[in-house]
Amino acid sequence: MSTTVPFLLLFLGVLACEGANPCCSEPCENRGVCTTVGYDSYECDCTRTGYYGQNCTTPEFFTWIKYSLKPSPNTVHYILTHFRALWNIINNIPFLRDAIMRLVLTSRAHLIDSPPTYNSDYGYKSWEAYSNLSYFTRTLPPVPEDCPTPMGVAGKKELPDVNVMAEKLLLRRTFIPDPQQTSLMFAFFAQHFTHQFFKTDMKKGPAFIRAKNHGVDLSHIYGEELERQHKLRLFKDGKLKHQVLDGEVYPPTVSDAQVDMHYPPHVPESHRFAVGHEAFGLVPGLLMYATLWLREHNRVCDVLKTEHPDWDDERLFQTTRLILIGETIKIVIEDYVQHLSGYHFKLKFDPEILFNQRFQYQNRISSEFNTLYHWHPLMPDGFHIQDEVYNYSQFLFNTTLLTDYGISNLVESFTNQIAGRVAGGRNVGRAVLMVAVKSIENSRLMRFQSLNAYRKRFNMKPYVSFEDLTGEKEMAAELEEMYGHVDAVELYPGLLVEKPRPNGIFGETMVEMGAPYSLKGLLGNPICSPEYWKPSTFGGAVGFNIVNTASLQKLVCNNVKGPCPVASFHVPKVRDSVLSTINASTAHSSQKEVNPTVLLKDRSSEL
């Protein structure tokens, strides 16, 4: 550190002579805030960082003690993913499990600024950045526009051609299955769940969000606008509109609900299903989940109607929505995040754990969170349903799959097909490559800081070389030729080429960034607050029990006919699902073949 600071100050002096913004070099360490002073100087605000000095590099005594004893993120991950016997003991001791869960939640959630601080148009604190909910918030301010290079001071004066980079570093050569054995059931859940709050307003630009609420509100089930919600409601016994086909409940048609949905002309009117999110007709996996939640809503309404025969339609509907929000958060934490983490420690959804902690029950979606969640390497090259394999042109907008196979068979098939590894590079399928390209282009428009800047912001050591980032030589050499310096590697490409953790789906940065956003958003939901988290909110003990016993398996079993299939985010028994032995072109489908690139072209922000 002693040699770095003088060099940095000397370099800033050179930049000042050239008229550059001295904050471009990110001189303030440890979350210190850089402010320019005149045209050629700067100052660092080290308030409450635990550090002091010109660049916030000198630790206070207790900060030094804390970080001297604190294990690295990779060490913590290793401990949590090993020593199964020890964790089995801890998981069965309630006060120990609660204490560790409290530490997990607070240590993660406190990394997210609340209230929000920046957006893409305000790289400094302002009332506009705080109050204008039409923006995604920002964790780090944009790179100043008057910097020597696009990433501040590091790297080349021009960023690499995005299409060339995507072809060389992101495009799949051969499908790489996830070593954590993540299933397509997980992949479609991720897509379905996140699109209630990842709603980029592309009319305004990638810095703007269409969602009225920055969190888990189930608008992808009930509709964003009140008008759409009303069109989807039956207005009887609290239920949603539906149709019954072959004895099973499915979403209503567009003609019945009279809501806007994005379907191409070749989809017949009878199979244009209407759900909360207008783009969910794109993929049968999304409609599968939409149908399960529709059935669950109407099932819970029946439970509440039996318990409260005096309640009117509106109260039944509103209380059921709160119950489903609770079920969703429970499933996300105890099934979805549990699987992703790979922890032997058993995560627990219990809002009371935080009631005595400093915690704010509000949330704003950040543009960085929106960007990092583009996990398209999860998608395989073809989709196995029973004995058939569907390629993209046969799968997209093929709503007949929903009724031809039924929800139970889709659940079984998607549970048994393995998803792709996200980290490690070269695993984005050709059919969805354009979405990754668009993500990088949008990141550039919003002037995201570098991967290393975000690593420092989330308490990770910056990578010191390209090989340190990728863990191998070939892609490291490609990156070096493109960027010139490891500090210039962009956030999203860096996340996809980063070396995966051992036997992991992600690299370190994706997990250490994504987990704080996720847990803050989930536990920051109003239903988790002391005012809401009580039986009366959910219609009494019966409704509260539905929330507290929710699981993915239970969601499926309560809402399919006949024997319940295994529903899991983890493939129960890995089989050959890489399509190496099955030619997808021989698959049978009644769906008219269309170009998936054309279908996806205007919908990249929705994926």
Residue 388: helix, strand or coil by DSSP? strand
**365, 198 Cβ separation under 8 angstroms:** yes
Token pair 């089995």: residue: 88
Length of the chain: 607
| Cis preceding-peptide flag for 251 (omega within 30 of 0) | no
Kindly report the number of other CB atoms within 10 A of residue 214's CB atom. 19
Amino acid at 600: L
Which residues lie closer than 8 Å to 435 by C-beta, 6 or more apart?
Answer: 374, 376, 600, 604, 607
Between CA 186 and CA 163 the distance in angstroms is 29
- Unique residue bearing structure tokens 């944009």: 142
Q: Is 50 helix (H, G, I), strand (E, B) or coil?
A: coil
Q: CA-CA distances (angstroms) from residue 186 to 161, 333, 340?
A: 32, 13, 9
Contact status, residue 200 vs residue 448, Cβ threshold 8 Å: no
Which of these, 426, 374, 382, 509, lies nearest to 73 by C-alpha position?
A: 509
Write the DSSP assignment of 310-346 as a string of letters: T--HHHHHHHHHHHHHHHHHHHIIIIIIHHHH--SS-
CA 472, CA 480: separation in Å to the nearest integer?
A: 13
- Tell me which residue of 501, 195, 101 sits closest to 340, measured CA to CA: 501
* CA–CA distances in Å: residue 61 to residues 58, 67, 68, 73, 328: 9, 10, 11, 22, 43
**Number of Cβ within a 10 Å radius of residue 592:** 12
Residue 584: both structure tokens together: 């997808």
Is the separation of the CB atoms in 29 and 456 below 8 Å?
Answer: yes
Catalytic annotation on 78?
no
* 448-453-455 Cα angle (round to 5): 115
Give the active site residue among 195, 242, 374, 570. 195
**The one catalytic residue among 52, 130, 343, 373:** 373
Which of 447, 439, 459 lies closest to 513 in space, CA to CA? 459
Half-sphere exposure of 562 (CA within 13 A, CB side): 9
Tokens of 300: 């819970």
Q: Which residues are registered as beta bridge partners of 152?
A: 149
Residue 517 among the catalytic residues: no
Question: Which spans in 137-183 are helix H?
Answer: 162-165
- 3-state secondary structure labels for all residues of 369-386: HHHHCCCHHHCCCCEEEC
**Residue 299 φ then ψ, to 5°:** -65, -45
Task: Round to whole Å and give the CA distance between 144 and 537.
Answer: 47
Which two three-digit tokens encode residue 480?
């070096």
Give the residue numbers annotated as catalytic, written as ranges.
195, 373
